[in-house]
Amino acid sequence: MIESTIENTPARTDPCKAAPPAHPRPEGHDRYTISEVAAFTGLTAHTLRWYERIGLMPHVDRSHTGQRRFTNRDLDWLAFVGKLRLTGMPVADMVKYAEMVREGEHTFEARAELLQRTRRDVLERITELQDTLAVLDHKIKFYADARTASERP
């Protein structure tokens, strides 16, 4: 087990899919201000502070005057949280996951279960969306046909 308490995130070796709005992480020296992180993640500074307040962040480092200094590890975590957010997972569940991460390796099984449940939800949602796509296509075709009919009466 080479992993620390905070998990490794895939090291982002697969950027083949279009990058989200604002994620060009600079090769900075690992201490980002809150507004930099806001720019990288697309979240607002407000939301980042709120995430920390509710326990969704793993203890963010501070400068000697008390300002937040986020690390690349924090950005990885936020990227993962962003993925979970896309699944529609409630924030409360993400907090539960974050707590389990803080608690250490004995929560591996529970974490895996949570992710497997989430995985099922995602598959279900994809199916629903594909169904919806079929309905939309049907309706769109109806409107297209209506237009053709009125053009060539």
Partner DNA sequence: TAAAACCTTGGAGTGCACTCCAAGCAAGCC
Partner DNA sequence: GGCTTGCTTGGAGTGCACTCCAAGGTTTTA
Give min distance, CB of 36 to DNA, in A: 6
Residues lying near its own copies in the complex (CB under 8 A): 1, 3, 7-8, 10, 14, 17, 80, 83-84, 86-87, 105, 108-109, 111-112, 115-116, 118-119, 122-123, 125-140, 142-144, 146-147, 149
CA atoms of 126 and 38, how far apart (whole Å):
29
Helix, strand, coil share (%) of the chain residues, nearest 5: 60, 5, 35
Quick one: which of 29, 53, 106, 138 contacts DNA (CB under 7 A)? 53
Interaction between residue 80 and DNA (CB under 7 A): no
- Tell me if 99 sits within 8 A of 57, measured CB to CB: no
The phi and psi torsions of 66 (rounded to 5 degrees) equal 95, 5
Quick one: which of 64, 106, 138, 152 contacts DNA (CB under 7 A)? 64
Q: Select the span of 18-26, 34-42, 119-127, 135-143 touching DNA (CB under 7 A).
A: 34-42
- Tell me if 58 sits within 8 A of 98, measured CB to CB: yes
Give min distance, CB of 89 to DNA, in A: 7
CA atoms of 88 and 97, how far apart (whole Å):
14
Give min distance, CB of 133 to DNA, in A: 20
